[in-house]
Amino acid sequence: MLFWIICAALALLLAALFALALLRSRVDEEHPAAYDLRIYRDQLKEVERDLARGVLSEADAERIRTEVGRRVLAADAQLAVADVAGNQPRLLTLVAAGLMGLGLLGGGLAVYGQLGTPGLGDLPHGARLADARETYASREPHDTFMARLPARVAQEPEPQFAELIERLRTAVASRPDDLQGQQFLAQNEARLGNFAAARTAQSAVIRLKGESATATDHVTLAQMYISEAGGYVSPEAERALRIALNRDATDPVARYFLGQMWLQNDRPDRAFGLWSQLLNEGPEEAPWIVPIRQGIDDIAWLAGLDYTQPAPRETALDLPGPSVEDIENAGQMSPLERQEMVQGMVNRLNERLATEGGTPEEWGRLISAYGALGDEGRALAIWREAQQRFGDNPDALETVRRGAQRAGVDQ
């Protein structure tokens, strides 16, 4: 009810302002045409003086009198119109002001009825939290959510690779307890977009590892759920993320996707807590920094917080990190497209290091990035290659090791 009272009061206030503008008397104010008339009369007097002194001829004087006389008539007409407009009946003015007020009030109500939500009641903080809890508790399981989506077409591999993947599938089916085979199968099925098969293989990896399964193993499983669902963090994906955080509470990828889950369940406050920490921790080139920078200002606003995100940290010379254009483009991408963009950036760095070499910082960054993308096998292979390359330089090797530690492959 208070909302409608405020709307009516604002409409009446605007109508009153219009009425005051219409009713305000302008009798004491000189019309511009009156000023012009004085000028024209002075000009006529000046013409007569010039004619008497012999400065003007009679013909020129007559021409000037005619022109000034025309202007005098025009100014008189303007004054007559002003007198009529300035002396309108007050009743007519009041009626006009009332019609304006009704028009404002009625028009505003009509527009609000179309664009607003007239029946929506107040939503106190406690009620919003209760709704968010209900949304969280009633989330769809992964399979139910996927049943509502259009069928996903897996990527067609090259003929040579298709033969290899079929041989790998056959080998793993005949030896289901082969850990390395299940790892290779999970990675390759995910690359082809066969996420259901990839999840089956990754679940087998976790089963075979038992208690030695790492946080990265469980995050990889969660990423397969999330990628298949186009960014939706299902209860099954959340369960894998929670297990990962129980093993490593600092795992950045698990915290990023957990923040995404809270966003999907109307809890921007919890998402902000997770993502702001990740943004402060960095590193700037980490794959999750681009989407966090793109969205955290809006998340802070939704959470009711006054927040200014920290400026990007400077990185070592020639190290590729997300540009302003990358951040802007990320805001227009789906989660899967964003993942592919990040994968492309990492692959370009990998190709440059393989062909041109690079600094220890770049090697550590590459290992960390592959770990964050869930490609533990490639991260481990690059770490082993880095050990050979920098084995005679303990300081450089220690720099690379920090990236391997972030990826969980430094054992």
pLDDT tens-digit readout, 97-132: 677 777 777 777 777 777 766 666 665 667 778 888
CA-to-CA dists, residue 161 to 185, 198, 373, angstroms: 13, 16, 22
pLDDT at 35 over 80: no
Backbone φ and ψ of 56, nearest 5°: -110, 150
Higher pLDDT, 329 or 203: 203
Higher pLDDT, 348 or 277: 277
How far is residue 350 CA from its own chain's centroid? 29
Q: Give the pLDDT score at 27.
A: 47
**DSSP 3-state assignment of 196?**
helix
pLDDT tens-digit readout, 288-334: 888 898 889 999 998 888 889 888 765 433 444 444 455 445 545 55
**Which tokens in the block code for residue 23?**
């009713």
The conformation of residue 141, written as its DSSP 8-state character, comes to: P
Higher pLDDT, 31 or 396: 396
Alpha-carbon gap, residue 179 to 184, rounded angstroms:
9
pLDDT tens-digit readout, 162-175: 888 888 889 999 99
CA-to-CA dists, residue 358 to 41, 236, 288, 367, 399, angstroms: 90, 40, 23, 13, 13
Q: What percent of the chain has pLDDT over 90?
A: 22
pLDDT at 85 over 70: no
| Mean confidence (pLDDT) of the chain | 79
Mean of the pLDDT values across residues 362-374?
78
Mean of the pLDDT values across residues 9-22?
74
Angle of helix 289-302 relative to helix 335-356, nearest 10 degrees, comes to 150
Band (232; pLDDT cuts 50, 70, 90): very high
CA-to-CA dists, residue 124 to 93, 128, 302, 409, angstroms: 45, 6, 14, 48
Q: What is the pTM (predicted TM-score) of this model?
A: 0.55
CATH superfamily to which 141-265 belongs: Tetratricopeptide repeat domain (1.25.40.10)
Alpha-carbon gap, residue 40 to 110, rounded angstroms:
53
Higher pLDDT, 26 or 8: 8
Higher pLDDT, 211 or 155: 211
Q: Give the pLDDT score at 405.
A: 80
pLDDT at 350 over 90: no
Q: Give the pLDDT score at 276.
A: 93
Mean of the pLDDT values across residues 401-411?
76
Q: Give the pLDDT score at 321.
A: 47
Taking alpha carbons only, the member of 177, 204, 202 closest to residue 190 is 202
pLDDT at 286 over 60: yes
Alpha-carbon gap, residue 244 to 89, rounded angstroms:
81
Band (37; pLDDT cuts 50, 70, 90): confident
pLDDT at 39 over 50: yes
Amino acid identity, position 112: Y
Identify the burial level of 195 via C-beta atoms within 10 angstroms of its C-beta, where 0-12 means exposed, 13-18 middle and 19 or more buried: buried
Alpha-carbon gap, residue 257 to 255, rounded angstroms:
6
Q: What number of CA atoms fall less than 13 Å from residue 66's CA on the CB side?
A: 6
Q: Give the pLDDT score at 88.
A: 53
Taking alpha carbons only, the member of 373, 120, 330, 107 closest to residue 223 is 373
Band (225; pLDDT cuts 50, 70, 90): very high
Higher pLDDT, 376 or 154: 376
pLDDT at 77 over 60: yes
Enumerate the domain spans of the chain: 141-265
Handedness of CA 321, 326, 332, 336 (dihedral sign): negative
Q: Give the pLDDT score at 327.
A: 46
91: left (phi over 0), alpha (psi -120 to 50) or beta: alpha
SS (H, E, C) 242-268: HHHHHHCCCCHHHHHHHHHHHHHCCCH
Mean of the pLDDT values across residues 161-189?
88
CB 268 within 8 A of CB 302: yes
Q: Give the pLDDT score at 66.
A: 85
pLDDT at 374 over 80: no
